[in-house]
Structure 1
């Protein structure tokens, strides 16, 4: 016998299921966070920063294609490109934007006062006008600095050549990080009776000429993480080898490329540190409540083959200080 009550009950259940199903499916979809990353240029140090940020996100459960949208663009060394990328990113409204390098971070800070910005590979965010102080900024900007102790850097140079009277400094005058370090070196070295001779190189193509201008004038050449210089480091190494001028760097990756010694930040770990801040912001913290930090992992890498090419006999003392010794 046909049971109309059961049929009506079954139909009612089916209608309720159809009404509930879309909400159930919607609720089960993970929330997708959107992180945009831009670097002023691509070179080993900044590439390692980016990898560190991405690995930190991944290790904390943010997976591209599942709950994370990740976008990256390089400005290819151009401030104009950095400004254009900043405008594009801001228009896309990501949850957080990471700026790798001072020019890219400055472009982002000039473009938005609301979207969270995490800078990294910036030496002094206060001088770069990214934050008003080293305290929590109460703005949309925070991040991680790669500032190093110059006393330690000079100490390494003196271990390579205890008789140093003059240090050459190849740098880009348009990069705030580099001009800050130059000023600090001048102030510190004058008290030690050591002269610093600056050799500006506005473009990467100017680096060989700037380096050659130091021949016969300096006992050693020191380079920082100047993006212009690091991008064309091999051309600087070539001059140092030919002129027998020891080359010391503050970018650890530069040892692989021909510097005798490189004492600096682990840029991969700097990226991991910045990634932790990104995650804090994705979890609800405001960037203005997070004080800027300084990278906390440094390492010394020695290149013994580079020392031979540049006419230097390394002491056991400095070799024993090295976290890593390469022969390239």
Structure 2
């Protein structure tokens, strides 16, 4: 009887131990399955991205474009150093460098590549065919033959133009209305940049409506900009520059010539006004880059096809004045000028 009781106890103990062992195994599996499930459900957040950036030249507008682009990615959870690797390249305004960067991007693996400025965008369009291509700071993607349709560019490329022809017309109208002594406007220009040629032509047409002539001072590289600006003294009553990468890279030389000779100096971008030009009709390049960054997010996270994404243009234009620069150029800023500025708090620079 005692033996039977002991046997029963032993059997019960074994069953309890077996049950405990099974329970422990089940709990361990549940614990290990939870991270696995979590990892699966959060896989999009854990995705690592790689982006190649080709910027044609260093200057404030293009730098701000890139800054805005990266900010949009960061706001969407794509952060450099965490889940984003950037291959950042600057061609320093050299065509050979620009081509080498594009060829490298075409042969390496990236989730997306970005071209900042027309030459960079064009080189990427020609050399990168197997991955999404975005562009920014391109004046006329149709004329540059980067795309053939603004509403549905097709293929693997899309982006944003930084030019609204209305901005040029409004700036030329502003000059005509407020500077009665200006009968000719000089433009320092690299005619090797198609974007510069297009904008200069638009300015010439707008000025002609007011019987004002456009006088060109051509350059081929940044070292010629100062001499070109000086050549306009006595030939032009004011100076204007387009979104010309070569010229903007040496804009300080133009500012000095204009100030020394009391010539009103107008530009095509806000950053150059902040640097010392008097006025423009424009927008913030940071916002322009941010818009392209949002397009990148749509491609990377939402699987959008670049070829189906409409090319955008700036639609929030405003007159921007630099009052300190006005003093340097001998300009009296009137109340009528200031009244043309919509956002006076941000676009009248003291």
Note the C-alpha offset of 1:271. Answer: 0.8
What CA RMSD, in Å, does the superposition of the two structures yield over aligned residues? 2.5
CA distance in 2, matches of 1:258, 1:218: 19
1:266/1:298 contact within 8 Å kept: no
Deviation at 1:289, TM superposition (A): 0.4
1:307 maps onto 2:326 in alignment: yes
Q: Which residue of 1 is the match for residue 62 of structure 2?
A: 46
Partner residue, 1:79:
95
Indicate the residue corresponding to 1:114 in structure 2: 130
The structure with the larger Rg is: 2
Shift, 1:151, TM fit: 1.3
Separation in structure 2 between the aligned mates of residue 48 and residue 90 of structure 1, nearest angstrom: 25
Shift of 1:300: 2.7
Q: What do the CA deviations read for 1:286-306 (whole angstroms, capped 9, x no partner)? A: 000012110223333222232
User: Where does residue 7 of structure 2 map in the other structure?
Assistant: none
How big is the shift at 1:204? 0.7
Q: How do 1:115-194 residues align onto structure 2 when only pairs under 5 Å count?
A: 115-148=131-164, 149=166, 150-194=168-212
Range that drifts further, 13-22 or 165-174: 13-22
Residues 1:211 and 2:254 are matched in the alignment = no
State yes or no: 1:230 paired with 2:253.
Answer: no
Partners of 1:266 and 1:116 in 2: how far apart? 25
The reply on whether 1:92 has 2:108 as its aligned counterpart is yes
Q: Which range moved further: 202-211 or 302-311? A: 302-311
Partner secondary structure for residue 180 of structure 2: coil
Deviation at 1:15, TM superposition (A): 9.8
For structure 1, the residue ranges without an aligned partner over 5 or more in a row are none
SS of the equivalent of 2:65 reads helix
Query: What is the TM-score of this pair, normalised by structure 1?
Result: 0.90
Give per-residue Cα distances to partners, 1:130-189, cap 9 Å, x unaligned.
Answer: 101222011111111111322101022124413432110111122111011122233343
Contact 1:266–1:299 under 8 Å retained in 2: no
- CA distances 1:247-298 after superposition (whole Å, capped 9, x unpaired): 0111111122221112222111101111111111111110000121102233
Residue 266 of structure 1: which of 279, 284, 289 is its match? 284
Decide which moves more: 158-167 or 22-31. 22-31
- Distance in 2 (CA, whole Å) between partners of 1:20 and 1:275 is 37
| 1:33 aligned residue | 49
Matching of residues 245-284 of structure 1 within 5 Å: 245-282=263-300, 283-284=302-303
Structure 1 residue 102 displacement after superposition: 0.5
